[in-house]
Structure 1
């Protein structure tokens, strides 16, 4: 039992080191040797848990995507009115991004890189299905604009990443009033 727990600790240390290195230096300046050193394991240990760097990055992405979407859909019910459901999801996402800033920053970088393979990206998208289904329902009910879900996501969710980036660089401070304004702008951008 202790060996299994220690193994989980090493795997988690490798994931955390990867998260920190990628967030600080980018994907290409996070070599396996640095990851191993930060995780305090030998470089060969990485290959016990991951096939290669691509596998390590993909697994970290998928674990964080699951955590992100689990938080996003907390207290969500498919029978909620469209606006109320979207508001709940949007504020849950904002809460995650504010409280899990390192994880959110990593996921934001993943949205803008080719480092995540297509299979992992598609698997990550599956976790967002309740939001996509909500938008389809909203379109059928004449509440949401009849445009691609990618456009809806770009206008309604992606601005949060930009605002958090501004906050991280001390250019802007998010508070309840600015979050409420950001939500209203997100809703206005997707509603008919």
Structure 2
């Protein structure tokens, strides 16, 4: 059991080092040698856990996406009204993006650059299925505009990355009232 735990520690150290280097320097300025050095393992050790750099990035993305989704849907109750259900998910995502900064920054980079492969991107999208289902249910009930889920995401979820960025730069204080206003603006942009 101790051997397995040690292996998990090395894998986690490699994922953490990759997250830090990609966030600070970008994908191309995060060579395997730097990742290994930051994780305090030999470069050859990386290949015990990952096929190559692409596999490492893909697995990091999928783990962060899974954690993001678990966070986004905690206390989610699809029995509530469409707006209340969406509010719960939106507030959870806001909390994640505002407080899980390295992970949020990494996901933003992935959203804006072709870093991961298509198979991993599709697997990552599956984690958001409850939100897509909620929006579809809202559209069927005439509560949400009949537009693409990409537009719904662009107008409701994507602005949270901007708010997080402004908070990080200390240009915006996100009080409870500010977050509530931001949610209402997001909701008003998609409600039918």
> What displacement does 1:186 show?
0.5
Higher mean C-alpha displacement, 71-80 vs 34-43: 71-80
2:78 counterpart residue number: 78
1:16 counterpart residue number: 16
- How many residues matched? 192
- The root-mean-square deviation of aligned C-alpha atoms, in Å, is 0.8
1:34 counterpart residue number: 34
Matched, 1:69 2:42: no
User: Structure 2 matches for 1:78-97, cutoff 5 A?
Assistant: 78-97=78-97
| Alpha-carbon distance between aligned partners in 1 of 2:24 and 2:177, rounded to the nearest angstrom | 30
TM-score by length of 2: 0.98
| Alpha-carbon distance between aligned partners in 1 of 2:92 and 2:155, rounded to the nearest angstrom | 17
| Alpha-carbon distance between aligned partners in 1 of 2:109 and 2:173, rounded to the nearest angstrom | 21
| Alpha-carbon distance between aligned partners in 1 of 2:178 and 2:57, rounded to the nearest angstrom | 33
TM-score by length of 1: 0.98
1:173 counterpart residue number: 173
Unpaired stretches in structure 1, ≥5 consecutive residues? none
1:142 counterpart residue number: 142
> What displacement does 1:13 show?
0.1
| Alpha-carbon distance between aligned partners in 1 of 2:19 and 2:99, rounded to the nearest angstrom | 16
Matched, 1:152 2:174: no
| Alpha-carbon distance between aligned partners in 1 of 2:108 and 2:10, rounded to the nearest angstrom | 25
> What displacement does 1:173 show?
2.3
| Alpha-carbon distance between aligned partners in 2 of 1:171 and 1:15, rounded to the nearest angstrom | 31
| Alpha-carbon distance between aligned partners in 2 of 1:61 and 1:10, rounded to the nearest angstrom | 17
1:106 counterpart residue number: 106
> What displacement does 1:101 show?
1.2
> What displacement does 1:78 show?
2.1
| Alpha-carbon distance between aligned partners in 2 of 1:167 and 1:31, rounded to the nearest angstrom | 30
CA deviation vs aligned residue, 1:104-150 (integer Å, no higher than 9, x gap): 11111110110111100000000100000000000010000000000
> What displacement does 1:34 show?
0.6
Unpaired stretches in structure 2, ≥5 consecutive residues? none
Higher mean C-alpha displacement, 170-179 vs 121-130: 170-179
